[in-house]
Amino acid sequence: MQLILFGPPGVGKGTQARIISKELNIPHISTGDILREAVTEKTELGLKAQEIMQRGELVSDDIMIGIIRNVLEQPRCNNGSILDGYPRTVNQADSLIKLFKELNIKDFKLINIEADEKELVRRITNRRTCSNCNSIFNYSEIKDIVKCPNCGAENSFFQRKDDKEEVIKKRLEVYKNTTSPVLQFFEKYKVTLNVDGTKSIDEVTREILKGLKR
Q: Which positions touch ligand AMP (CB under 6 A)?
A: 9, 31-32, 35, 52-53, 56-59, 64, 85-86, 88, 92, 162, 171
Task: List the catalytic residue out of 18, 123, 128, 171.
Answer: 171
Partners of residue 114 on adjacent β-strands: 196
Minimum distance of ligand AMP from residue 172's CB (angstroms): 10
> Any catalytic annotation for residue 13?
yes
> Any catalytic annotation for residue 127?
yes
Q: How far apart are the first and last CA of the chain?
A: 13
Partners of residue 127 on adjacent β-strands: 138
Residue 181, H or E segment: helix 181-187
Minimum distance of ligand AMP from residue 37's CB (angstroms): 11
> Any catalytic annotation for residue 88?
yes
Task: List the catalytic residue out of 88, 109, 123, 128.
Answer: 88
Minimum distance of ligand AMP from residue 214's CB (angstroms): 27
- State the residue number with the nearest CB to ligand AMP: 32
Closest alpha carbon to 87 in 166, 155, 204, 3: 3
| Separation between Cα atoms, residue 113 and residue 123, nearest integer Å | 14
Which residue's CB is nearer to ligand AMP, number 67 or number 204? 67
Angular region, 25: left φ>0, alpha ψ -120 to 50, beta rest:
left
Task: List the catalytic residue out of 48, 147, 160, 199.
Answer: 160
Looking at residue 60, what DSSP letter applies?
Answer: P
- Catalytically annotated residues: 13, 88, 127, 160, 171
